[in-house]
Amino acid sequence: MDEWSKQGKDNRESRRRVKESKRGEEKKKRRARKRKSSGTRGYGEDEVKRRRESGGEMKHGAR
């Protein structure tokens, strides 16, 4: 009986560990995605500067 409960505890621990690692991965992915869509990619510096001066209308586009 106590062996079973011990096994269950181990399973729970490992499951939580997996969940935590997965959450970390998700966070990393989300951060990368955010960086990708920040609007500065694929433009020259002067282009970025111009947009920043004009108030960054791209940043808050059709959300």
How much is the pLDDT for 51?
65
Distance (Å) of CA 38 to CA 2, 5, 25, 48: 54, 49, 20, 11
Residue 43: its pLDDT value, please?
A: 58
> Measured between alpha carbons, how far apart are the two ends of the chain, in Å?
56
pTM: 0.24
pLDDT, tens digit, for every residue of 8-51? 677 777 777 777 777 777 777 777 666 655 555 555 666 666 66
The residue range of the domain holding 16 is 3-54
**Structural domain contains residue 26:** yes
Q: Please tell me the predicted confidence (pLDDT) of residue 11.
A: 72
Looking at the 3D structure of the chain, how many domains does it have?
Answer: 1
- For residue 62, being part of any structural domain is answered with no
Assess contact for 23 and 43: CB atoms under 8 A: no
- pLDDT at residue 12, rounded to an integer: 72
62 or 33, which is more confident: 33
